[in-house]
Every structure is written in C-alpha cells, then in structure tokens.
Amino acid sequence: MPQALEILQQNAAVLFAYVVIIVAMFLVARIARLSQAMSLAVALTPMAYAVALQNGLSLGLI
C-alpha cells in the first residue's frame, strides 16, 4: 500500500509540474502582449511536441 501511494504522489507531482510550466508560459506570453489564443498556443506547443515524439517513438515511426 505505501508503494502505491508513492507512485500516485509521484504522478501527481509530475502533473502539477506540467500545469505550472503551462501556466508560466501562458503568463509570459500574455505579458508579451500576445492575444489569449496565441498565448495558449505558445504554452501548449512544447507539450504537443513531446506527446508527438513519445507516440512516434512508441509506434516505431521515429
């Protein structure tokens, strides 16, 4: 049971870190006076690249 709790806490910490990074990038883009839609795109693009790379590697496309 304690090991399962550690795994859950580790996953929660990683998700929290992702959220903090996305919010920080969004706020930096807004401070740079980009529109809200463009700021969201700037914040989510690195995550989209990471997901695409991971899926490509797992499927053997890369």
Whether 1 has a pLDDT exceeding 70, the answer reads: no
Q: Token digits for 5?
A: 């709790």
Q: Mean per-residue pLDDT for 45-56? A: 88
C-alpha to C-alpha distance for 5 and 24, rounded to whole angstroms? 28
C-alpha to C-alpha distance for 42 and 29, rounded to whole angstroms? 7
Greater model confidence, 2 or 32: 32
Using one digit for the tens of pLDDT, what is the confidence trace for 18-40?
899 999 999 999 999 999 999 99
pLDDT of residue 12: 84
- Sign, CA torsion 55/56/57/60: positive
Amino acid at the residue 38: M
C-alpha to C-alpha distance for 35 and 44, rounded to whole angstroms? 14
